[in-house]
Amino acid sequence: MAELIEHPCVQHKLAVIRNVKTGHKRFRELSKEITKFVCYEALKNIKTKEVTVTTPVAEATCRKIDTDIVVIPILRAGIGMLEGILELVPTARVGFVGLYRDEDTKLPVTYYERYPPQIEGGTCIVIDPMLATGGSTVAALDLLKAKGADNIIVVCIVSCPEGIALVEKAHPDVLIYAAAIDEELNEKKYIVPGLGDAGDRLFGTSH
């Protein structure tokens, strides 16, 4: 299931980050800001526990997060979203998945994996700015589940029906949160209207 985050602040920032005239510095800032808003919604149902806190006046009954949170960026573009989540949940642990698409088979190939042990039993958040074909996301979810993860959320900035459908078919238990669900993929497998190549725009590697 995919949930669209339609908060006006998110949609305003989305309008700016899509703009071809937005440079890489501002693009990075906006990626962090949008991610924080989307992740805020994505974590609204995580497990909490009741605790008692002593204030300067009296004791208060409060709630604290009661699960390990592990953020897993899909390299390289996912790194641009990492800071936004860590500002929201500073105690989160971080793992990494490196994937590239084989030019012959068009399938994702894993070149790097590193996870903290807390993926097993914790709440995992897979981050990637673009959920386009869905191939890399499904591959990352396959890898995480093979390592014992069973509570996973996907957070992205822009998605499309094709990518969402692939993830839902392969992993129907995984919730997807996005700032935009765009129209379609074009013949080059770019999201339309999208925002271009997120990795290049994040790191200033092309125009």
Report d(CA 17, CA 34) in Å as an integer: 9
Give the model confidence (pLDDT) of 115-165 as tens digits.
Answer: 999 999 999 999 999 999 999 999 999 999 999 999 999 999 999 999 999
User: Is the Cβ–Cβ distance between 84 and 33 less than 8 Å?
Assistant: yes
Report the pLDDT averaged over residues 104-111.
82
Question: pLDDT value at position 108?
Answer: 84
Question: pLDDT value at position 100?
Answer: 84
Could you say which DSSP state residue 148 is in? T
Question: pLDDT value at position 194?
Answer: 94
Question: pLDDT value at position 207?
Answer: 53
Could you say which DSSP state residue 194 is in? -
Question: pLDDT value at position 204?
Answer: 86
Share of the chain above pLDDT 70, in %: 99
Which amino acid, one-letter code, is at 92? A
Neighbours of 207 (CB within 10 A): 9
Tell me the torsion sign for CA atoms 57, 63, 67, 69: negative
Report d(CA 202, CA 103) in Å as an integer: 23
Question: pLDDT value at position 24?
Answer: 93
Question: pLDDT value at position 101?
Answer: 78
Give the model confidence (pLDDT) of 20-60 as tens digits.
Answer: 999 999 999 999 999 999 999 999 999 999 999 999 999 99
The torsion angle over the Cα atoms of residues 35, 36, 42 and 46, rounded to 10 degrees, is 140
Asked if residue 103 has pLDDT above 80, the reply is no
Could you say which DSSP state residue 141 is in? H
Q: Which residue has the tokens 């897993």?
A: 72
For the chain, domains (ranges, CATH) are 2-203 (3.40.50.2020)
Report d(CA 105, CA 189) in Å as an integer: 15
Neighbours of 21 (CB within 10 A): 6
Asked if residue 96 has pLDDT above 90, the reply is yes
Question: pLDDT value at position 85?
Answer: 95
Asked if residue 106 has pLDDT above 60, the reply is yes
